[in-house]
Structure 1
Amino acid sequence: MPGYERQTFDRKRIEADGFRFEDCIFNECTIVYAGGDLPSFINCTFDHCAFVFEGSASNTVELLRTWLMDTSGFGQLVRQMLDVSDEPPHPGAGKFEPDDESAEQTHSG
């Protein structure tokens, strides 16, 4: 798997499919996953980054989002599949607050 070690990325669009990142720093980057080979992030730091799903990854995210809203049982199926509890996480867990522009990019597919 091609990769990067001890690199700093500033304000870049990173197409992450199939890449390994180790001990890297991402500052104000857009990290894109399009559904190809899984990327690997080992001991990396993300500061004010947006995470965007495109292509088939975007389709999968949208399907799971739709199923989570479904009342016929698909929501529970998705929670079980992802091993996600209905209980709220402890304060600050997984906190990600994209700015308005990156939130629009995330949903544009």
Structure 2
Amino acid sequence: MPEILFLPENKKVTVKEGVSILDAATKNGIHLEHNCGGVCACATCHVIVTEGFGNLSPMEEDEEDQIEEAEGLTLKSRLACQAKVLGDLVVTIPFCSKGGHEH
């Protein structure tokens, strides 16, 4: 079964193939914003796949449209609610600066 390492928490979880990154995070106690409830209507669950990008389901048109709203967008960005896990990954949950900086 695929493993996901979530950064910066540095927490590794094992998941069933085909689950979304968001489901993997929430079922394992990893905080990942998802204001729309995981229906691809916002971009708060934006993550950066630092390793294993090819081990994800292809990006659908809805995700392509919505991810453009994500803060700190990169070429390895995905919406956690839409990206289905097909193999091992390293996922970085970016710091969202909208709420101010934590010290």
TM-score range relative to shorter protein: under 0.3
Higher relative contact order (CA 8 A, sep 6+): 2
> TM-score scaled to structure 2, two decimals?
0.24
Question: Radius of gyration: which is bigger?
Answer: 1
> TM-score scaled to structure 1, two decimals?
0.23
